[in-house]
Structure 1
Amino acid sequence: MVAPTPNLLWKLGSGFAAAGIMAGAFGAHGLKSRGIATESFQTASHYTVFNGLALLLLSLHPRFSVHKFAGPAIAGGTLLFSGSIFALVLDRDRFKFLGPVTPMGGLLMIAGYVSMAL
């Protein structure tokens, strides 16, 4: 497995932070006005922003900016976790197969953070 570059982690972190903020605004304004429960959407938005900020910090760290597992696991876990929640909130019937993906994304994020402690 090839280690990510600090530049890639910075771009992913920036993208996640921006996407999380946009999703939060959409959930608070666009979904709420349609009568859709937004708690899960907001949770996914928060995790996207938090993990985006974490990737920004990782990109600046001399050791973890080139770690083969941490950055990719956090990024992939965020996509699986938050992405599946976004899809399920927007159209549960069409995306119900994504239900089991959410906890797998959460576990992948956790594994990324734990790998930095080892």
Structure 2
Amino acid sequence: MTHRGGWILVALSGFVVVMAGAFGAHALDGWLAPRLLEAFETGVRYQAWHTLAAMAVLIWRGQQPLQGQRAVLWLWSLGMAAFSGSLYLLALTGAHWLGPITPLGGLLLMAGWLTLAWCGWRQQPAG
């Protein structure tokens, strides 16, 4: 992922956060069962936090490129797609087969945080 590509992905993720949040608050309230609306909102919340965290890593990477920062961004991108994406689709379609994808996305998000910790610990310049 290039630095430019990272900013494009973060911007698109931020767009999806705002769109999904508004859609959940205005179009889905009263249409979805409360449990499904809560799942949808959880997806929005996790995507929002990880989008902000990715912005911070991109800023850090612009100031001090280190080994591991790119991996963090990839893990979070894939994790957001799997975690939040599966919750959005589950809530909107009721497709319960998506359920196992959600924890996989959560594992990717957690792996990103652990990679960030490793990256900060090691402080090895990127090659």
TM bracket (short chain): 0.7 to 0.9
Of 69, 72, 83, 1:70 maps to 72
- Runs of 4+ aligned residues of structure 1 deviating over 3 Å after TM superposition are none
| Aligned residue number for residue 121 of structure 2 | none
Distance 2:110 2:9 in 1: 18
| Aligned residue number for residue 106 of structure 2 | 106
| Aligned residue number for residue 42 of structure 2 | 43
Q: Which runs of 5+ in 2 are unaligned?
A: 119-127
Of 89, 92, 109, 1:90 maps to 92
Residue 33 of structure 1 and its aligned partner are, at CA, apart by 3.7
| Aligned residue number for residue 4 of structure 2 | 7
Give TM-score scaled by structure 1 length. 0.86
Moved more, 48-57 or 70-79: 48-57
Structure 1 letter corresponding to 2:77: A
Bigger CA radius of gyration: 2
Identity, % of aligned pairs? 33
Query: Aligned in 2, Cα 1:35/1:106: closer, same or farther, shift over 3 Å?
Result: closer
Residue 63 of structure 1 and its aligned partner are, at CA, apart by 2.6
Distance 2:28 2:89 in 1: 13
Residue 104 of structure 1 and its aligned partner are, at CA, apart by 0.5
Q: Which runs of 5+ in 1 are unaligned?
A: none
Structure 2 letter corresponding to 1:72: W
Distance 2:112 2:22 in 1: 28
Residue 36 of structure 1 and its aligned partner are, at CA, apart by 3.5
Distance 1:68 1:25 in 2: 30
Residue 35 of structure 1 and its aligned partner are, at CA, apart by 4.4
Listed one character per residue, the Cα deviations across residues 83-115 of structure 1 (whole Å, up to 9, x for unaligned) are 0000000011xx222110000000101101110
